């Protein structure tokens, strides 16, 4: 077959004319040669795909400089082996010409390249945190003569950029325009999802939930190629429905949807987050038995989660409400003894829940007369924070518990340790009102302990209480000796 030398490159117009001339040879060859066997087309590689409408109309050579006629387009992705036997001779000629001169798709026009660049620049502006620039570019593209498929992508990017700007009402309207303009395109599923999020941010939760339901109904009605991607969108819509109920405080509905999500066993589901919110929603409903079960499951399956301290707090509080004091105390002690490697991931959160859980459970135990359990917790709380602002109130509580346990000397030492740290909180304006109260109460209780000890010693001296370790002596009255 005739071929150009490797170094011979014709200009584009000359090349088109040369291809047209070669097309005449192809016509003659086609008409003069017998019909190709049926297996010939099947033997062609499946990767040889005909050009689609995205590359512009395919033009068949007409010869002798006559105007070329447009060839009817095939659907995107049609393979050469799928061309029917009833195709026109002109389409068959074009196919053979392209097989002979396969230079790939025709070059995209300058105008089309400009439209595509405008879309990509707008998308880049949005992703790099320049939503205002993205909006300006995308609006200009939508007002241009760009093809409809580019405008569809531009409208979605525009809605997201407007939402990034915080203009939620306008973003919701843009998503609605997208859905109305492209109702049968798979992109409406993402549009419904993002529109629902926008409405929820605006506080229109009922409308938001309806949009999330629309995600699921749209996914069922459309013929989708990327099933895994749209399955994730549907799953996300279900998560957002549960989240909307959860944020609204509609605990019964939230629990229902969260339990459904756990039963779905979807691999993309954030099981840890769903189970954590389920524990909180059940606790808000005061469903104690279910809280205990779900909290224990969470701690067992997600021991390294940053939500473990709060779950332990809810578990300890629930156990305390059920009267299971020893189990509640055990949960608090485990929380206070959490491994440092876990607490270091989010030290502020761990410290907050350790202090809150310890303080609340210890106070409840103190009110119920469990002074030993109270002392255990407060001694652990003392080690959580070395600042005087934290340790002074804890030392005061330790002193009170020791007094109730009939250990006045140790209680006195706890108050003395507290008062020795008074200079640390003095400052230029003196201690805060709360710490000033703690200091005054500790000073009073220390004086009271001294007074009680002095009074007890004086009473013993007055009564001349005999030493119980010495044997008693028999005194004979003087009247008996007379």
**pLDDT digit string (tens) for 337-347?**
865 545 566 77
Confidence of residue 293 (pLDDT cuts 50, 70, 90): very high
Token reading at 436: 């000033």
| 396 vs 399: CA distance, rounded Å | 5
Mean pLDDT of all residues in 353-368: 89
Who wins on pLDDT, 128 or 89?
Answer: 128
Mean pLDDT, range 331-339, rounded to an integer: 81
Confidence (pLDDT) at 344? 61
Q: How far is CA 238 from CA 213, 216, 309, 411, in A?
A: 8, 8, 27, 57
pLDDT digits (tens, 9 = 90+) for 422-465: 888 876 677 788 888 999 999 999 999 988 878 777 777 777 65
Q: Which residue has the tokens 């190629």?
A: 225
Name the residue ranges covered by the structural domains of the chain: 12-37+48-100, 287-383, 385-457
Cβ atoms within 10 Å of 302's Cβ, excluding its own: 17
153 — pLDDT class (breaks 50, 70, 90): very high
Q: d(Cα 90, Cα 99) in Å, to the nearest integer?
A: 14
Mean pLDDT across 9-26 = 41
More confident residue, 127 or 36: 127
How sure is the predictor about 38, in pLDDT bands with cuts at 50, 70 and 90? Answer: very low
User: Which one, of 143, 145, 139, 110, lies nearest residue 122 by Cα?
Assistant: 139
More reliable by pLDDT, 101 or 151: 151
Cβ(351)–Cβ(384) below 8 Å: yes
Res 117: pLDDT: 92
> What gap in Å lies between CA 115 and CA 448, rounded to an integer?
87
Please state the rounded mean pLDDT for residues 256-283. 94
In the block, tokens 């799953």 appear at 235
- What are the CB-based long-range contacts (under 8 Å, 24+) for 360-367? 360/317, 361/316, 361/317, 361/320, 361/328, 361/329, 361/332, 362/332, 362/397, 364/320, 365/325, 365/329, 366/397, 366/400, 366/401
Question: Which CATH superfamily does the domain covering 287-383 fall into?
Answer: Tetratricopeptide repeat domain (1.25.40.10)
Indicate the helix (H) or strand (E) that contains 28: helix 12-32
Cα–Cα distances (Å) from 13 to 18, 66, 409, in that order, read 9, 15, 107
Asked whether the predicted pLDDT for residue 101 surpasses 80, the reply is: no
| Percent of the chain with pLDDT strictly greater than 70 | 70
What's the pLDDT at 222? Answer: 72
Cβ-based burial of 417 (10 A; exposed 0-12, middle 13-18, buried ≥19)? middle
Q: Return the pLDDT at 474.
A: 55
The structure's pTM equals 0.63
Q: List the beta bridge partners of residue 60.
A: 69
- Average pLDDT, integer, range 150-174: 94
Output phi, psi for 60, to 5 deg.
Answer: -90, 145
The set of residues, in sequence order, having a beta carbon less than 8 Å from that of 337 and lying 6+ positions away, is 380
Mean pLDDT over each residue of the chain, to the nearest integer: 77
Q: Which residue has the higher pLDDT, 256 or 230?
A: 256
- Residue 481: pLDDT above 60? no
**What would you report as the CA-atom Rg of the chain, rounded to the nearest whole angstrom?**
41
| Residue 35 clears pLDDT 70, i.e. is over it | no
Average pLDDT over residues 286-306: 94
């Amino acid at each position: 077959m005739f071929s150009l030398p490797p170094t011979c490159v014709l200009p584009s117009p000359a090349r088109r004319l040369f291809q047209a001339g070669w097309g005449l040879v192809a016509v003659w060859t086609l008409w003069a040669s017998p019909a190709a066997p049926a297996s010939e087309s099947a033997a062609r590689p499946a990767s040889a795909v005909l050009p689609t409408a995205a590359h512009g109309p395919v033009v068949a050579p007409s010869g002798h400089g006559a105007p070329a006629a447009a060839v009817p387009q095939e659907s995107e992705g049609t393979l050469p082996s799928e061309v029917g036997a009833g195709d026109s001779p002109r389409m068959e000629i074009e196919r053979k010409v392209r097989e002979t001169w396969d230079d790939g798709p025709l070059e995209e026009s300058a105008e089309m390249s400009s439209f595509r660049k405008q879309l990509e620049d707008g998308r880049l502006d949005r992703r790099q945190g320049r939503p205002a620039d993205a909006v300006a570019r995308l609006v200009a593209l939508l007002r241009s003569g760009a093809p409809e498929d580019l405008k569809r992508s531009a409208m979605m990017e525009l809605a997201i950029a407007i939402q990034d700007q915080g203009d939620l009402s306008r973003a919701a309207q843009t998503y609605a325009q997208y859905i109305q303009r492209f109702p049968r395109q798979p992109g409406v599923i993402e549009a419904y999802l993002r529109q629902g999020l926008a409405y929820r941010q605006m506080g229109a939760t009922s409308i938001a939930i309806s949009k999330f339901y629309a995600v699921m109904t749209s996914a069922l009605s459309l013929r989708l190629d990327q099933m895994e991607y749209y399955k994730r969108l549907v799953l996300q819509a279900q998560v957002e429905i549960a989240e909307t109920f959860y944020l609204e405080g509609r605990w019964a509905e939230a629990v229902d949807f969260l339990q459904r999500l756990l039963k779905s066993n979807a691999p993309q589901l954030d099981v840890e987050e769903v189970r954590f919110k389920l524990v909180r929603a059940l606790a808000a409903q005061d469903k104690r038995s279910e809280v205990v079960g779900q909290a224990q499951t969470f701690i067992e399956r997600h021991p390294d989660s940053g939500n473990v301290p709060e779950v332990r707090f809810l578990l300890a509080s629930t156990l305390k409400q059920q009267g299971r004091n020893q189990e509640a105390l055990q949960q608090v002690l485990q929380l206070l003894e959490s491994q440092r490697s876990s607490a270091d991931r989010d030290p502020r959160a761990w410290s907050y829940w350790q202090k809150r859980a310890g303080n609340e459970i210890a106070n409840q135990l103190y009110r119920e007369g469990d002074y030993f359990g109270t002392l255990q917790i407060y001694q652990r709380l003392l080690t959580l924070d070395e600042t005087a602002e934290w340790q002074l109130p804890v030392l005061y509580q330790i002193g009170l518990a020791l007094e109730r346990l009939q250990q006045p000397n140790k209680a006195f030492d706890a108050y003395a340790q507290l008062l020795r740290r008074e200079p640390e909180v003095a400052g230029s304006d003196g201690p805060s009102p709360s710490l000033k109260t703690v200091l005054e109460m500790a000073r009073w209780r220390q004086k009271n302990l001294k007074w009680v000890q002095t009074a007890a010693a004086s009473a013993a001296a007055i009564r001349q209480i005999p030493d119980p370790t010495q044997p008693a002596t028999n005194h004979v009255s003087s009247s008996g000796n007379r």
